[in-house]
Chain A
Amino acid sequence: MSEFLQQLVFGLAIGGVYGSLALALVLIYRTTRVVNFAQGEMAMFTTFIAWSLIENHGFSFWPAFFVTLGIAFLLGVGVERLVIRNFEHSSHLTVILVTIALFVIFNGAAGWIWSPEQRAFLGPFSAAPFDVGGVAIARQDVGVIAVTLLTVALLWAFFRFTKLGLAMRAAAVGPEPSRLLGVRVGWMFAMGWGFAAVLGAVSGMMVAPIVFLSPTMMQAALIYAFAAAVLGGIESPLGAVLGGLLLGVGTTLLGAYVDVVTPELELPIAFVVLVLVLLFRPAGLLGRVVVRRV
């Protein structure tokens, strides 16, 4: 039984990683209707900046953390205003490709500036695990889930109760009417990117202690994060996190207990499940079905 619990813990841990990145994806989609393939790489890039602040400039963790969030926000706003804005009249397809180009650029730039070496990134939590009845639970893993859920709560409050949150939602759902009402739609989009970049930075800094800091650290997670976001409902922050946890636990347990599921099959199976879910609940588990207007 304790072996089962240990596997469950591993599943939740990796699910937390997926969920935290999925959260950033959901935020950008919700505020700008853009699927940002570069989300993981931007998260990785800002985590490298945090690392550099700690290693090369002598910051300790929490100051570096908050400074990085600020830098991430500026980076997100900058990318939206300088790059994405030029494509606002282009087709969906073009915008997707632009985010992919950004993926490639951020990935290459990180490898160029900091080299592809792997590094340890020590989070704020000590490395000694909790021992609960023979099951080891890494503090970092708990930290990821806790911080992610906290972020979901903050986001919900932000969108529900603040004027800015309302304006951002309006800009995403109806840019033209919002303009007429005086909402500065362009800057709403820019802030959407900024906040998403901040979320990405949080995700990166929580996740790096687990997967080791390197230019490719978010790539394996990105695919799962997309799946988690879609599974949970691409507009639902809570859905994204739940989707991530479900995927993490599901793939780990399947891999552990079903012999036929060799590790190579974990990803294909995750996607088959995803497609099946979408067939029956097209908007995802927690999503709302949007009625098409004629």
Chain B
Amino acid sequence: MFDPAPQILVGLEIGTSKVCAVVGEHKPDGSLSILGVGQARSRGVRKGEIVDQTTATEDVRTALAEAEHMADVEIRSVYLGVSGAHLQSFNHRGRHTIPSHDREIMEEDVQDVVRNAKSFTLQADRHVVHVVRQHFIVDGQAGLIDPVGMPGALLEVDVHVVHGLTARLQRPIHVVKNLQIEVENLVFSGIASSLAVLSSPDKRRGVLVMDLGAGITDYVAYADGLIRHTGTLAVGGDHVSADLACGLKVGLGRAEALKCSHGGVHLDPGDEERTLSLPSESGLPDKVVKLGHLRRIMALRLEEIFEIIAEDLEKQNLLDRLRAGVVLCGGGARVPGITELAERVFGLPASVGRTRSLSGLVATLDQPEFATAIGLVKFGSFQTPRTPTQRWRWRLRQTLGHLGSVFRMI
């Protein structure tokens, strides 16, 4: 029973451009180290959602096999990242009147109010991915983290709910289950990325994490240490490539290559007329494209993504609460000049996220593309109870439990 062996946690992200599996080791002392990573080019995913189950299954198998090989473990279950335009979020408030005579808030009251907050109705075809607890409110006094022991008559709590279409959420689960691997939990990729790149002080000061993926951009806004808003925008690197293919009149593959080799959002004054000559493929004359066009097309698209997100945050009244600024991750964070563009659009300091507080293959993994997969492992480490007995009980609950999960911050 007293199992001193470290817990193996696996994060699996089935992204639009790559499938990535990260194997982590959660030691009994609470530290987390990364043992291995496996990657495969993703072919069956568009805009963050699986469109071809067969190829997606193959790609997941390849990635998991590579990770198993590298970490030298057998993968039985994974924390699965999900994204897609169908994901939506809202904030909901639960209420509970304190029944006890002395009006002191007890542990049970907290459980009741949280239960109340979770009782909301969704459309029949939707399923909850996360219910993230925010702060408690006692008799109108907001911002309380732990109300137990406080006197009060009315206890309220805000929760942030992320939900999605059941049918779409089941697609990646099917893919993983087809490989005889269990899904521990579904995690919204945006939240996973934010766990990987943020520190607690950042969260307290308020920060926006944007994961600029190939197919979809996920974003999560924190203020006062809590998740305030999450969202997705089904526009990503693929759109940039498609724009370039259209605007420069080259093939999609070549547009992709151009984006990686010469991409950027900033144009030096002298570069406006600079041209790039592309070798021809079939004896046709060389294709010449202008660097100015390339950069302008990219800048317009990325700027638009930022503008739409900024507009959404403005609507939530969050923009001026993000004192730590904007953190970018995902492949899009590699675009030269992207932080300056984000600073300009949001009017906030921007930086590229680095995965923190990990040991193991840090150097390999400290790249913005891996934020989601690493975040999934981190999410797993928050979920896993420390003592073996708890762990068994938790296992049981997981087996019997449902798709939805309760995700508690702090």
Q: Do A and B bind each other?
A: no
Report which B residues bind A (CB closer than 8 A). Answer: none
